[in-house]
């Protein structure tokens, strides 16, 4: 039996239905409490409302998580929810390993790091650059997200590797796997795939 769940934000605030994109960002930020993740979540939500990015409904959080995120960062904002069908994900193991990596590396300063770990993991399941899949407005925003929420992990990206590649490489290193064909990045024919511009 397929289990239905209520998860997705349907873009606009109830009292501002139908106004997508940056106006929603402004709306959210008008209610923001002043935490570092406020503008990052606001960008993601505004982008999703505009069908930009690749995050699943509710930024990949369940309904309770998404409502808690709103209450924590944008108190007073209400977003319409719609129901969607839960599908079986064949990449569950990969998803869970990435999530565990991020949870293990969270800064431990704020509960929103937990939501961020789930959201970043959900975006890693998509196929574009990570900042684009998250619906952020630039790669710099993603670099800030990583440094604020997962500082020790982010600090390991000393050569500014593409973030999605970097996360998967961390997973391989955790498992003691070297999936790279070259002995070092310097001599690797795939260098641009790992370090090229993320635009």
Site for ligand SF4 in 48-67 (CB under 6 A): none
Binding ligand SF4 by CB under 6 A: which of 47, 58, 169, 198?
A: 169
Cβ contacts of 83 within 8 Å, gap of 6 or more: 4, 5, 6, 7
Instruction: Please choose, out of 36-44, 99-107, 134-142, 190-198, the segment that lies near ligand SF4 by the rule CB under 6 A.
Output: 190-198
With CB under 6 A as the contact rule, which of the stretches 20-28, 91-99, 110-118, 181-189 interacts with ligand SF4?
181-189
Rounded distance between C-alpha atoms, residue 71 and residue 65, angstroms? 10
Q: Should residue 191 be labelled a site residue for ligand SF4 when binding is judged by CB under 6 A?
A: yes
Token pair in block for residue 2: 């397929």
CA 77 and chain centroid, separation: 21
Q: Report residue 96 as tokens.
A: 């869970």
Least Å distance, CB 34 to ligand SF4, is 38
- Minimum CB separation from ligand SF4 for residue 159, in Å? 9
CB 169, min distance to ligand SF4, A: 6
Closest approach, Cβ 93 to ligand SF4, in A, equals 22
The region of 4-12, 69-77, 78-86, 183-191 touching ligand SF4 under the rule CB under 6 A is 183-191
- Here the tokens at position 70 are 């709103």
- The whole-angstrom separation of Cα 39 and Cα 196 is 26
**Cβ–Cβ < 8 Å for 37, 116:** yes
* Nearest to ligand SF4 of 175, 190 (CB atom): 190
Q: Number of helices (H) and strands (E), helices first, in the chain? A: 10, 2
Q: Does 190 bind ligand SF4 (CB under 6 A)?
A: yes
Measured CA to CA, the distance from residue 197 to residue 199 in angstroms comes to 6
Site residues for ligand SF4 per CB under 6 A = 169, 180, 182, 185, 188, 190-191, 194
């Amino acid at each position: 039996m397929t289990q239905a769940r209520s998860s997705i934000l349907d873009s606009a605030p109830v009292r501002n239905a139908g106004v997508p994109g940056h106006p929603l960002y402004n709306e959210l930020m008008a209610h923001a409490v002043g935490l570092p993740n406020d503008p990052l979540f606001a960008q993601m939500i505004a982008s999703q409302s505009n069908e930009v990015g690749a995050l699943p409904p509710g930024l990949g959080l369940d309904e309770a998580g998404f409502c808690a995120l709103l209450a924590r960062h944008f108190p007073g904002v209400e977003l319409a929810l719609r129901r969607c069908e839960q599908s079986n994900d064949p990449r569950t193991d990969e998803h869970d390993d990435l999530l565990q990596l991020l949870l293990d590396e969270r800064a431990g300063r704020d509960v929103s790091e937990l939501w961020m770990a789930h959201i970043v993991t959900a975006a890693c399941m998509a196929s574009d650059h990570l900042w684009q899949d998250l619906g952020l407005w630039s790669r710099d925003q993603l670099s800030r997200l990583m440094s604020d929420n997962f500082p020790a992990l982010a600090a390991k990206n000393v050569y500014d590797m593409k973030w999605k590649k970097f996360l998967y490489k961390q997973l391989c290193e955790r498992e003691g796997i070297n999936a790279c064909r070259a002995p070092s990045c310097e001599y690797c024919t795939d260098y641009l795939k790992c370090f090229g511009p993320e635009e």
